Amino acid sequence: MRVLWAPWRMVYVGCGDVRGECIFCPGDDRSRDEERLILFTGDRSTVFMNRFPYINGHLLVAPVRHVSTLNSLLPEEKLDVITVVEKSIDALKEVMSPEGFNVGMNLGKVAGAGVEDHIHFHIVPRWSGDTNYMTVLEDVRVIPEHIHTTYQKLLPFFKQC
Which is catalytic among the residues 58, 66, 120, 146?
A: 120
Which amino acid is located at 106 in the chain?
A: N
CA angle 144, 34, 143 (to 5 degrees): 10
User: Where are the strands (E) in 4-145, listed by range?
Assistant: 38-41, 45-49, 59-63, 100-104, 121-126
120 tagged catalytic:
yes
Q: Is 115 left (phi over 0), alpha (psi -120 to 50) or beta?
A: beta
Q: Tell me the catalytic residues.
A: 120
